[in-house]
Structure 1
Amino acid sequence: MNSAAAREADPAPPPPGGVLWGLSGDVRALLMLPAALTLQVAHPAVGAGVDEHSVFRTDPWGRGERSLSSLQLWVYGGEQAAEEGRRLRRLHRTIQGTDTRGRRYHALSPANYAWVHATGFPVYRHAARYLIRPLTPAQERALYREWLQVGRVLGIQDRDMPQTIEEFWPYYRKMLAEEIEKTVVVGELVDADAVVPPPDRGPLPLRLLLRALWPVLLPPLGRLRTFLTVGLMPPDAREAIGLPWTAGQERRLRRFCALLRMVVPALPERMRYLPRARRARAAHRAAGRSGPGISG
């Protein structure tokens, strides 16, 4: 197949103006990502792959920036979305080894690759209730359809992912019951005292300031990261991994998120949405289109 034919056969990203468009580009979605990542690496094979092959310990800011850029391309990248999916598959071709249960794994084996993608749906669905607003049943179904479409962009075959919400939940519960555990990487991601280097991105004066203040900033930021990672994870996933969560923490999370629900919608759009999402939304509006997105 020549390159032009390949482009014609590429799966399209989720529809402009859809639920995912409003959700994944919102700055509050940044707070959802650690919970999704932690649920991903709670799978023994995925955790082992990240433990042995990822640079998240040595280059956490670079790794985070690349992951966020990739996610934004899946949703807002247009023709670039499918190429990003191919790039990710090429990147994962050599990632293999033995997991904590002594089983051989490969990052691109259908079960492992599908789980990494599947975790986004329950985390988005749960965290949106706190940070933005609860999804209606119609929005939930739209979100799941759009998340399946992102999976196709990433090269996940339909036969490897539940194709309806009704099929998803038994699959998800089975994974929680039979596969999920508190892996080494999970332990590191929820460790409030983990050593993280100061940010190495952004303007030089800001980097220098953060480097000077980092010994003071890191402890409270570490506690906040752990609090949000555990709190924004769906309760059944939290329980399956064995992450403690108290009623007092739940009350604090609800107060914190209520504040964000008041403050963020009052901000100008350039501060409410990530750059790629903001540009895509502006182009979509200029074309005079609308959709069933979530906002607020």
Structure 2
Amino acid sequence: MTSVNPRSGGFSPTRADRRPELLVTGSPVRRVLAEPLIPLYGLPGFLLPLMHPATAAATLTHDKVFADPGADVFDFVRRLRDTLEMISGVAHAGDEADHVAYAMRELHRPMKGEDTRGSTYHAWTRDIWTWNWAAITASYLQGFAKLRGWPSQQFRDDAYLGFIEVGRRFGVLGMPDSYDEFVATWPAERDRVADPRNDGVRILIGLTRAEGMPAPATLRWLPLPVWAVISAPIRHFLRVAVMIGLLPEERDMIGFGERPSDRLSERIHLAFWRMVLPREISYRIGLAWMSTRARWSRPAWRKRFSAEALTSRREIA
């Protein structure tokens, strides 16, 4: 496995060695992916990849919550849940993990066209695929570091290697070899490619403002000032999520205007969870939730991204 190409930019076309031991029960990456506070504050995991001009264009064209003017806040919540569930599924879906990885690849097979800068793209292009996984990895590790803190440097390094293994199963190529190398090279690669203020990013950041958060159909008759009061707790939570999951320079890139109260809110949230829900208890809650979803419910890979649903999409396309 090799790192970002320092001459031309972009990721090297090298697949990581297979390392299934990185995904065993109790491994650092499984602990990160089982952490219930990650999906709770998961907006950056959706937002940072959207800075890629191809990802933004594909999302604006193919994703209901962006393409459908009737989509409401609950559609965005379900979309975020499904995305995070698919990412975690490779580590936590048991015998179905291979299907989750297949579904993630298959879902993006038909996505091609012009990106937000007018260049042609296909979602499976090596650099696009890997750039997006690097963005997801960066937001997850940043969120976990803030919310939980790394118990040790070894835990942190092994968690990153676990993300490489998850990405390998998705078909990701050329991630940097170590966490330190990733931290050193990813920002330059992020900045080289990013179109940070495209319409997709603008819509998602708009959820933190009353006029940008679409009310459910049953509440669309409300005057904006009334909806602003009702939606304030959700919008506040989303602002805190952006503060936790994105670096200061990333918030500047997307035009997220930090308010004087945001930093205080972030500190309050972090203090609350570290006192109320210790890391070990939180991990067990996450495992219980995913086990319950897999046994008694229909996670994303069994409905929207099941083999039948993906086949139907291909036939329609």
User: Aligned residue for 1:240?
Assistant: 253
User: Aligned residue for 1:288?
Assistant: none
CA–CA separation in structure 2 for the residues paired with 1:151 and 1:143: 12
CA contact (8 A) 2:86 2:100 kept: yes
- Label 1:135 to 1:270 Cα distance change in 2 as closer, same or farther (>3 A): closer
User: Aligned residue for 2:102?
Assistant: 86
User: Aligned residue for 1:31?
Assistant: 40
- Name the SS for the 1:245 alignment partner: coil
CA contact (8 A) 1:41 1:185 kept: yes
CA–CA separation in structure 2 for the residues paired with 1:136 and 1:117: 24
1:174 counterpart (169, 183, 188): 188
- Label 1:221 to 1:276 Cα distance change in 2 as closer, same or farther (>3 A): closer
CA offsets 1:74-131 (integer angstroms, 9 cap, x no match)? 1112332122111121111111111121111111111111122112332222222331
Do residues 96 (structure 1) and 112 (structure 2) align? yes
CA contact (8 A) 2:36 2:283 kept: no
Shift of 1:246: 5.0
User: Aligned residue for 1:196?
Assistant: 214
- Name the SS for the 2:64 alignment partner: coil
CA offsets 1:178-209 (integer angstroms, 9 cap, x no match)? 2222221111111222233549xxxxxxxx9x
Amino acid corresponding to residue 71 of structure 1 in structure 2: I
Do residues 256 (structure 1) and 274 (structure 2) align? no
- Label 1:198 to 1:264 Cα distance change in 2 as closer, same or farther (>3 A): farther
CA contact (8 A) 2:44 2:245 kept: yes
CA–CA separation in structure 1 for the residues paired with 2:251 and 2:159: 22
Amino acid corresponding to residue 261 of structure 1 in structure 2: R
User: Aligned residue for 1:69?
Assistant: 85
- Name the SS for the 1:79 alignment partner: helix
- Label 1:39 to 1:266 Cα distance change in 2 as closer, same or farther (>3 A): closer
| Bigger Cα displacement from structure 2, 58-67 vs 118-127 | 58-67
CA offsets 1:219-271 (integer angstroms, 9 cap, x no match)? 33123213322442122322333433356422320122111211223997798
Amino acid corresponding to residue 152 of structure 1 in structure 2: R
CA–CA separation in structure 2 for the residues paired with 1:65 and 1:133: 23
Count of matched residue pairs? 258
User: Aligned residue for 1:145?
Assistant: 161
- Label 1:105 to 1:51 Cα distance change in 2 as closer, same or farther (>3 A): same
Amino acid corresponding to residue 81 of structure 2 in structure 1: E
What does 1:1-296 align with in structure 2 at a 5 Å threshold?
12=20, 14-57=23-66, 58=71, 59-157=75-173, 160-180=174-194, 181-191=196-206, 192=208, 193=210, 194-198=212-216, 215=227, 217-245=230-258, 248-265=261-278, 272-273=285-286, 275=288, 277=290
- Name the SS for the 1:273 alignment partner: helix
- Label 1:271 to 1:168 Cα distance change in 2 as closer, same or farther (>3 A): closer
Taking structure 1 as the reference length, the TM-score comes to 0.75
| Bigger Cα displacement from structure 2, 146-155 vs 268-277 | 268-277
CA contact (8 A) 2:90 2:101 kept: yes
CA–CA separation in structure 1 for the residues paired with 2:91 and 2:99: 12
CA–CA separation in structure 2 for the residues paired with 1:238 and 1:188: 15
Amino acid corresponding to residue 99 of structure 1 in structure 2: D
Amino acid corresponding to residue 178 of structure 2 in structure 1: T
Taking structure 2 as the reference length, the TM-score comes to 0.71
CA contact (8 A) 2:41 2:238 kept: no
CA contact (8 A) 2:54 2:114 kept: yes
Unaligned ranges ≥5, structure 1: 1-9, 200-207, 281-296
Unaligned ranges ≥5, structure 2: 1-17, 294-317
- Label 1:56 to 1:76 Cα distance change in 2 as closer, same or farther (>3 A): same
User: Aligned residue for 1:4?
Assistant: none
What root-mean-square deviation, in Å, do the aligned CA atoms of Structure 1 and Structure 2 show?
3.2
CA offsets 1:31-75 (integer angstroms, 9 cap, x no match)? 342112111101111111111111224332442332233123111
Amino acid corresponding to residue 150 of structure 2 in structure 1: P
- Label 1:195 to 1:140 Cα distance change in 2 as closer, same or farther (>3 A): same
- Label 1:37 to 1:269 Cα distance change in 2 as closer, same or farther (>3 A): closer
